[in-house]
Amino acid sequence: MIHPGPENIDLEPSGDRFECLRFAAEVLGQVAEHCRQVGIGCAIENKLPHLLFASIRDLLWILASMGQVPIGVCLDTGHGQLAGDLRSIIQKLTGYLLMVHAHDNHGRGDDHQPPGTGSVLAADKHPVASPLVRTDPLRPNPGRLLR
């Protein structure tokens, strides 16, 4: 599981930003291809909303630019909540979803609380996320990537 792009960089929407996005996709493609060659899956996680390449639009662009390179997504429910619309994020990433990092928060910080103890995975607020509230570990399905 990888966070795409740098963590602490502030780029204006310009050619430099696009060039960094393109480079991140190129490097992630190389990593994903190496993972395939050694028989393991590769997933990129949706990031905290204030970080570079954290928008779902950027994440989908990176995924689309991979072509036939086998890569998927780890959905971080806490990051999705902080980005503002977990339901929409789940819908947009469904075709790429390999694993879920299910944790909770109250919409103010990346608290990593147990699922169901904050506002993220409350079934009455996010019915689409309610199946994520589980007591057993969620396991990735790397076999999906190795077809």
Q: Which two tokens stand for residue 15?
A: 């050619």
Distance CA 131, CA 53 (A): 28
133-141 own/partner pairs: CB under 8 Å, 24+ apart: 133/102, 134/102, 138/99, 138/100, 138/102, 139/99, 140/41, 140/43, 140/74, 140/98, 140/99, 141/41, 141/98, 141/99
Give 18-62 pLDDT, tens digit per residue.
Answer: 888 888 889 999 999 999 999 999 999 998 888 877 889 989 999
Give 106-119 pLDDT, tens digit per residue.
Answer: 988 999 888 888 88
**pTM for the predicted model, two decimal places:** 0.77
Amino acid at 40: I
